[in-house]
A and B are shown apart, each in its own frame.
Chain A
Amino acid sequence: MKKLFPILTILLALFASPLLGQDAEQPTATPSTEESTKPADEEASTDGEAKELTDEERANAVADKAKAEAWLEGQSLASEYSSLDDDDKRIEDYAIDSFVVSGDTAWMIVATALVLMMTIPGLSLFYGGLARRKNVLSVLVQCFACTALMTLLWTIYGYSVASSGDGQFFGDFAKVCLKGVGVDTVSGTIPESVYFTFQMTFAIITPALIVGAFAERMKFSAVLIFLTLWFTFSYLPVWHMVWGGGYLADKWEAIDFAGGTVVHINAGIAGLVACIVLGKRQGYPKSPMPPHNVPFVLIGAALLWVGWFGFNAGSELAADGVAGMAQLVTQVATATAAFVWMMTEWILKGKPTAVGIATGAVAGLVAITPASGSVGPMGAIAIGAAAALVCYWTATSLKHKLGYDDSFDVFGVHGVGGIVGALLTGLFFINAETGVEFVENKLKGQIVSVIVTIIWSGVVSYIALKIADVFCGGIRSTEDEEIQGLDVADHGEEGYQL
């Protein structure tokens, strides 16, 4: 009893202070949905006071109103500004710092961090746990090195070649080394620096995804060279075709909100080609190669799930209703997929496994990615369920039937999940105003974008592997290295000193 009194006092102090402080301050002016009433409120409260305004107060009120109006004006002009070319004479008419919306910017800075978390440590742990113990570091280091390498490549030329310029397949070099991008440059309603870094995290995770297909048997040097070539000649052009106003967006109006084709199909096909060219791991499929750390797999999948809110909701590049709905459908589709995979496995195999439910969730995340800006919750359920069923079949049945060794099911989950999602994106829509969900046939653009991405990524991956083969004197680790484990062979370290 004696100990209760100090605890009660502390609790009282904690809860009393916000209650007491409620009337003390007016909320500071922030952008909100009721923007148009904001200046009016400030005027009304000053007019409602009984005393006369001093000249100073009147001048302040006028200045506040002017500032608010300029901000509003800036908001509505932001979209015009972002479409101006760098040499457009009207550029000087627009006050640059009116256009950065702090809510959008704050959210996008956070979304960037969330997507980076998806690679390190989300994907790293997801794959790391699936690997055998002797190869755990190789997977982690490949993801980490990919993060570092892609950051540099994106900065030096990636961003420019992807997003700048009018080509059908490639951009230009106008923004090489971020020329022209400064502290105050704007992209839409956020600083261009934020947009740049956000997109960089996508450029990081896409090559990292491929790592899972050829894991446990590819030389580290060959990995780096292959990923550099693939990034340059497959990731950047597909990005440009879909998001940079290139061929797929321009001629086919392909819908890809957050990266079903650009990220998942692109990486999935590369993974399939790589694992076939490299060949199967020694002992596959006869020797058992179970995951060495299933808790890692679950933790990794959970980090991917949470981070994916940044991936999908962040692709709106704003903090608004579309972003909110994108988050909603991401959650619903993922949960559906996890649940459906779990039930499928339970029925077909007798027990619902941990690896299974984690994989199901990832399949759902992948499939909802292209649709997250246009689909509603019921469509999300359909997409999640479809992804789980199809990916379950590809990862467990098709793989064994066709005999390729896709170590961690990069094609089976990301490639196929991306294809399922990209196609269904052309079917399920939601009305933005009424919330009514409907089915419409916009499949043509989706089918074309899927086929183009598959062919482009496949061909580039094959060539990139052959080039890496020449550069590195062979892309596959030697037999002894593979048996010893890549951790010791490539990195000179043991993952666990037990």
Chain B
Amino acid sequence: MKLIKAIIKPFKLDDVKAALEEVGVTGLTAIECKGFGRQKGHTEIYRGSEYTVDFLPKIKLEVVVADEAAEGAVKAITSAANTGKIGDGKVFLSSIDEAIRIRTDETGNEAL
């Protein structure tokens, strides 16, 4: 099983969710976070004090899929989240040791 972590722009969440549903991924976790890479932040001014705000709002998606489905899921995310502009985000893959469904104690691919 693979854990897919994707940092995407917040307004792309609905598109990515729809794309993942199309390839058969039925569950995901979304976390509101902030981050930056090459995309610069902005400056805010309060009564003459200027602050540079580096961080931008982002959404971090986490999906766990069976090994066979990983490639398809990653492709769905990258195509749906792409805008062509700096700050689109990144996708990371790692391996998962185990997955358990809490209600039924199912493990492995049945738990996904």
Please give the residue numbers on chain A whose beta carbons come within 8 Å of chain B beta carbons, in ascending order.
285, 288, 290-291, 345, 349, 351, 353, 355-356, 359, 395-397, 399-400, 409
Contacts of B47 in A (CB 8 A): 355-356, 359, 395-396, 409
Complex contact A400–B45 (CB within 8 A): no
- Say yes or no: is B44 at the interface (Cβ < 8 Å to chain A): yes
Contacts of B45 in A (CB 8 A): 345, 349, 351, 353
Complex contact A288–B51 (CB within 8 A): yes
Closest residue of B by beta carbon distance from A399: B48
Complex contact A400–B49 (CB within 8 A): yes
With A and B bound together, what is the CA distance between A400 and B47 in angstroms?
Answer: 11
Taking A290-B51, A353-B45 as known contacts, 13 extra A-B pairs with beta carbons closer than 8 A to each other, sorted by chain A number, are A288-B49, A288-B51, A290-B44, A290-B46, A345-B45, A349-B48, A355-B46, A355-B47, A356-B47, A359-B47, A396-B47, A396-B48, A396-B49
Closest residue of B by beta carbon distance from A345: B45
**Shortest Cβ-Cβ A-B pairs, 4 listed:** A396-B48, A288-B51, A290-B46, A349-B45
A54 to chain B, nearest CB (A): 75
With A and B bound together, what is the CA distance between A455 and B46 in angstroms?
Answer: 31
Complex contact B48–A291 (CB within 8 A): no
With A and B bound together, what is the CA distance between A359 and B49 in angstroms?
Answer: 14
Contacts of A285 in B (CB 8 A): 49
Contacts of B44 in A (CB 8 A): 290
B44 to chain A, nearest CB (A): 6
A4 to chain B, nearest CB (A): 41
A395 to chain B, nearest CB (A): 5
Contacts of B49 in A (CB 8 A): 285, 288, 396, 400
Contacts of A395 in B (CB 8 A): 47-48
With A and B bound together, what is the CA distance between A267 and B60 in angstroms?
Answer: 49
A243 to chain B, nearest CB (A): 32
Contacts of B48 in A (CB 8 A): 349, 395-397, 399-400
Contacts of B51 in A (CB 8 A): 288, 290
Closest residue of B by beta carbon distance from A287: B51
A283 to chain B, nearest CB (A): 12
With A and B bound together, what is the CA distance between A379 and B42 in angstroms?
Answer: 40
B57 to chain A, nearest CB (A): 16
A348 to chain B, nearest CB (A): 9
B53 to chain A, nearest CB (A): 8
A216 to chain B, nearest CB (A): 15
Closest residue of A by beta carbon distance from B44: A290
Contacts of B53 in A (CB 8 A): 288
Closest residue of B by beta carbon distance from A359: B47
With A and B bound together, what is the CA distance between A396 and B47 in angstroms?
Answer: 6
B41 to chain A, nearest CB (A): 12
With A and B bound together, what is the CA distance between A400 and B49 in angstroms?
Answer: 9
With A and B bound together, what is the CA distance between A291 and B48 in angstroms?
Answer: 13
What are 14 pairs between A and B in contact, CB < 8 Å?
Answer: A288-B49, A290-B44, A345-B45, A349-B45, A349-B48, A351-B45, A353-B45, A353-B46, A355-B46, A355-B47, A395-B48, A396-B48, A396-B49, A399-B48
Flag B45-86 by CB within 8 Å of A: 1 or 0 each.
111111101000000000000000000000000000000000
With A and B bound together, what is the CA distance between A409 and B46 in angstroms?
Answer: 12
Contacts of A397 in B (CB 8 A): 48
Closest residue of B by beta carbon distance from A408: B47
With A and B bound together, what is the CA distance between A395 and B48 in angstroms?
Answer: 8
With A and B bound together, what is the CA distance between A335 and B60 in angstroms?
Answer: 46
Contacts of A345 in B (CB 8 A): 45
Contacts of B46 in A (CB 8 A): 290-291, 353, 355
With A and B bound together, what is the CA distance between A351 and B43 in angstroms?
Answer: 11
With A and B bound together, what is the CA distance between A349 and B46 in angstroms?
Answer: 11
8 Å CB interface, B1-55 against A: 44-51, 53
Closest residue of B by beta carbon distance from A396: B48
Closest residue of B by beta carbon distance from A348: B48
With A and B bound together, what is the CA distance between A470 and B49 in angstroms?
Answer: 35
Closest residue of B by beta carbon distance from A413: B47
With A and B bound together, what is the CA distance between A353 and B49 in angstroms?
Answer: 12
With A and B bound together, what is the CA distance between A367 and B94 in angstroms?
Answer: 64
A66 to chain B, nearest CB (A): 63
A248 to chain B, nearest CB (A): 32
Closest residue of B by beta carbon distance from A291: B46
Closest residue of A by beta carbon distance from B53: A288
With A and B bound together, what is the CA distance between A395 and B49 in angstroms?
Answer: 10
B49 to chain A, nearest CB (A): 7
Contacts of A409 in B (CB 8 A): 47
With A and B bound together, what is the CA distance between A353 and B45 in angstroms?
Answer: 8
Contacts of A396 in B (CB 8 A): 47-49
With A and B bound together, what is the CA distance between A353 and B47 in angstroms?
Answer: 9
With A and B bound together, what is the CA distance between A409 and B49 in angstroms?
Answer: 12
B46 to chain A, nearest CB (A): 5
With A and B bound together, what is the CA distance between A397 and B49 in angstroms?
Answer: 9
Closest residue of B by beta carbon distance from A288: B51
Closest residue of B by beta carbon distance from A290: B46
Contacts of A288 in B (CB 8 A): 49, 51, 53
Contacts of A400 in B (CB 8 A): 48-49
